């Protein structure tokens, strides 16, 4: 009888325990639930399920956009940072692109209080899949170390 009362709690713990390391693809699965990138980009997990950065590339424009999201990739998280630095290793070369904070009057986001960052670089137009790293970030008072990723070439 006591075991039956503990089952719901054990089930909840099992689901939460599955929420650990990220699978750096368009979405990632954490045991009992999956996270999907809202813009169809690549989710890069920061910390242990603390936050995500979604990277969306526009090959034609040579542009990279980053959206800062919560740990479940459901809500945008605004940062005070003026920019995010992304380092890429494409075609055997180390490249850096600075993604500047983007204001959005529709959401009330401003530079210094935004979840969206964009940057352009000519090498992004021709880059295939590449490995990279998002620079260190501070989100809601927590400092996150640089996070590695592998960004596929955007289809379509």
For the chain (length 156 residues), average pLDDT per consecutive 10? 41 37 44 74 92 95 96 94 95 92 93 96 90 95 95 73
> Cα separation of 25 and 129, whole Å?
12
Query: Would you state the pLDDT for residue 102?
Result: 97
Query: Would you state the pLDDT for residue 107?
Result: 87
The answer to whether residues 56 and 39 touch, using CB atoms and an 8 Å cutoff, is: yes
- Delimit the domains of the chain by residue range: 2-151
The answer to whether residues 117 and 109 touch, using CB atoms and an 8 Å cutoff, is: no
Query: Would you state the pLDDT for residue 48?
Result: 86
Q: Is the pTM of this model over 0.75?
A: yes
CATH 2.60.40 fits 2-151, yes or no: yes
Query: Would you state the pLDDT for residue 136?
Result: 96
At residue 150, the 3 state secondary structure works out as strand
């Amino acid at each position: 009888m006591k075991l039956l009362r503990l089952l719901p709690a054990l089930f909840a713990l099992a689901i939460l325990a599955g929420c650990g390391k990220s699978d750096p693809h368009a979405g990632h699965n954490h045991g009992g639930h999956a996270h999907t990138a809202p813009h169809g980009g690549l989710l890069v997990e920061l910390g242990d399920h603390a936050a995500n950065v979604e990277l969306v590339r526009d090959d034609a424009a040579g542009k990279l956009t980053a959206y800062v999201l919560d740990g479940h990739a459901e809500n945008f998280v605004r940062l005070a940072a003026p920019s995010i630095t992304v380092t890429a290793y494409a075609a055997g070369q180390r490249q850096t692109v600075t993604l500047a904070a983007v204001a959005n009057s529709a959401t009330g986001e401003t530079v210094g209080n935004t979840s969206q960052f964009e940057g352009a670089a000519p090498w992004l137009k021709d880059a295939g899949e590449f490995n990279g790293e998002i620079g260190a970030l501070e989100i809601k008072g927590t400092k996150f170390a640089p996070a590695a990723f592998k960004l596929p070439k955007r289809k379509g």
